[in-house]
Amino acid sequence: MWIGSIKWNLIVASMVGIFTFVFSFVNNLFLGSLLRSLVAFLLFFSLMFLFRFLAGKVIGRENRNMFASEDKGQHIDLVTPEESAQRQGQEGGKKGEQPPSADFSQFTPSDFPHIARDGKDHIDPEEVARALRVFSNE
């Protein structure tokens, strides 16, 4: 019959109470602001019961399982599928056997041009332009 929990009542009522206190404190005394924020808190706390009851009636009993939060958010899986497959392969395989490694025979490192300063304060602009063209793939 009810949707959610009393946490929603407390969260909404607390937010409204805090906002009421902050905006009321600017123009009123401390005690008056505190009293108004308390009234706002109690009013919205009770209004949230009515809202939760009406939401439960609108949604109905057959659709309530969509909002069941018993298992949602309680378990976080920190293992990716690739890791679990590798671990199962390592555990299931022979202990002396090495996992297959990637083939790096066709790998060639990039050969970027170097700009040599040789203690000079002046760098040739053509060398800088050539290096920039290499980096920008032009």
Judge whether 128 lies within some domain.
Answer: no
Q: Which amino acid is at 104?
A: F
- In a domain, residue 83? The reply is no
The predicted structure's pLDDT at residue 129: 83
Range of the domain at 39: 6-67
In this prediction, residue 128 carries a pLDDT of 80
114, part of any domain: no
Q: How far apart are CA 102 and CA 46, in angstroms?
A: 64
What is the structure's pLDDT at 14?
Answer: 95
pLDDT value for 60: 75
Residues of the chain short of pLDDT 70, as ranges, are: 1, 62-75, 77, 79-81, 83-101, 112-121, 138
Whether 100 is in a domain gets the answer no
How many domains are there within the chain?
A: 1
CA–CA gap between residue 48 and residue 6 (Å, rounded): 9
Is 17 inside any structural domain? yes
Q: How much is the pTM? A: 0.45
Q: Tell me if 131 sits within 8 A of 115, measured CB to CB.
A: yes
Q: Considering the domain boundaries, does residue 77 fall inside one?
A: no
Gap between the Cα atoms of 130 and 138, Å rounded: 10
Per-residue pLDDT tens over the stretch 8-48:
899 999 999 999 999 998 888 999 999 999 999 999 999 99
